[in-house]
Amino acid sequence: MSVPRVSAILAAGGLGVRLGGGHPKQFLEIDGRSILEWSVAALATHPGVSEVVVALPEAHLEPPPACLTRSWPCPVRVVAGGARRQDSVARAFEAVSDSADVVLVHDAARPFVGAGLISAMIEAAVDAGAAIPAVRAVDTVKIGREAPGRMWVASTVPREDVHLAQTPQAFTRQVLAQAIAAGAGGDTATDEAGLVERMGGRVAIVPGEPTNVKITTASDLEHARRRTSPPVPRIGTGYDLHRLVPGRPLILGGVRVPFDLGLDGHSDADIVCHAVTDAVLGAAALGDIGRLFPDTDAAWKDADSVALLTTAVARVGEAGYRVGNVDVTVIAQRPKLLPHVPAMRERLAQALGVDVAAVSVKGKTNEGMGWIGRGEGIACIAVATLVRAG
């Protein structure tokens, strides 16, 4: 056979009752597109596919979903599905072009099938007549037998013999026609490969894709949405400044910086930790450092600001977030901070629970202008991102 003409059947005629939604699962959205549209796109944009026939619940034919009427690289047609999956596929097969050499049958509930797998299935159908994609079982497989009050293990199946079938399944037109005819009016089959097996045909196995998941339950849908729509990071900013005074140590980012002046404040006046604490709390909408550790409370007199930051990060964790990264700018005319930046990044990373690569610390002067330029004080600006934990 030269380059085969390929038609694709998309089985989308079910009601998706196991998902628990108010309407068929194929119309639920993932990242702004219905599951149906994701599946149509995978097939209709593949360069080897010449047409797509979609079997829909009859109630959704007039009007058809907008995603089926838009312009695709190949024709997309719609037929009414049947009571069972195999009935829907049989009706769609009747609408397949007479010139089709190979027919793919794909479940609309598998929206993430890759183009490489589609190509592999077309090749397998040409070579073997019938083929399925499948992944090997990785868990031990047990056969269960129910007895009064409990399920018992009846036997163990060698897992190397177990393959978990996926779609698209692929057939030459002739093989699929025979299988559908043989299954007409008979017992329900879970897939078209099963119909081929019933009539004594052989079905090849092609390595499937772990990402080619079937969306069946609400949990499946949630995982799919997380996969395509990573949570948007939350962003917070922090700012702090203190006067420089004699007789105080200069603590920045948990590091004691040799200098003849220190920052005045109720705690150790570590403006870097204070600014980062405010940024982290702000990103989680948990208030600010003054609310958690008020300077009117003697408990925070000369407190270690790294410890305060660690406490704030724990609060953020309780709210369901973790720190993504922080970026800190210290504005000081003097002293020079560059020699101390590595140590500050290490201390901050430990307190934040992140890798040091996620912590940036920069020192800037104020070009001799204003109170910072005159050496009267130091300021700090911090930005932090949070992402959902887990």
pLDDT digits (tens, 9 = 90+) for 205-218: 999 999 999 998 88
At CB < 8 A and 24+ separation, what contacts does 283-291 make?
283/234, 283/235, 283/236, 283/316, 283/321, 283/384, 283/385, 283/386, 284/234, 284/236, 284/315, 284/316, 284/319, 284/321, 284/386, 286/312, 286/315, 286/316, 286/319
Contact between residue 131 and residue 105 where contact means Cβ atoms under 8 Å apart = no
Tell me which of 206, 228, 250 is where a domain ends: 228
- Residues 103 and 189 reside in one and the same domain: yes
Binned at pLDDT 50, 70 and 90, residue 22 comes out as: low
Is the pLDDT score of 16 beyond 60? no
Query: What is the average pLDDT across 25-41?
Result: 87
Mean pLDDT of the chain: 90
Among residues 176, 202, 228, the one where a domain terminates is: 228
Which of 208, 228, 248 is the last residue before a domain boundary?
228
Query: Per-residue pLDDT averaged across 246-262, rounded?
Result: 93
Helix (H) or strand (E) holding 50: strand 49-56
Residues 198, 56, single domain; the answer is yes
What pLDDT, on the 0 to 100 scale, is given for residue 306?
92
> Which of these, 383, 384, 380, lies nearest to 240 by C-alpha position?
380
H or E element in which residue 52 lies: strand 49-56
What residues are paired with 157 via a beta bridge?
141
Residue 333 falls inside a structural domain: yes
Answer whether residue 1 is part of any domain. no
Q: Are residues 361 and 337 in the same domain?
A: yes
**pLDDT tens-digit map of 44-98:** 999 999 999 999 988 888 888 888 888 899 999 999 988 888 899 999 999 999 9
Same domain assignment for residues 305 and 356:
yes
The total number of structural domains that make up the chain: 2
Residue 160, both tokens: 């190397």
Same domain? 199 vs 251: no
Is residue 218 situated within a structural domain?
Answer: yes
Q: Which of 85-89, 169-173, 235-239, 265-269 has the lowest mean pLDDT?
A: 265-269
- 215 and 242 inside one domain: no
Instruction: Taking residues 351-370, report their average pLDDT.
Output: 93
Same domain, 69 and 122: yes
Domain that holds residue 277: 234-388
**pTM: predicted TM-score of the whole model, two decimal places:** 0.63
**Average pLDDT score over residue span 146-161:** 91
End-to-end Cα, the chain, rounded Å: 51
| Least confident interval from 12-26, 134-148, 153-167, 357-371 | 12-26
- What's residue 182's pLDDT? 85
CA angle 139, 143, 146 (to 5 degrees): 130
Cα 237 from chain centroid (whole Å): 27
CATH at 331 = 3.30.1330.50
Residues 175 and 64 in one domain: yes
Q: CATH number of the domain that 102 lies in? A: 3.90.550.10
pLDDT at position 21 over 60: no
Amino acid at 298: A
Question: Is the pLDDT reported for residue 141 higher than 60?
Answer: yes
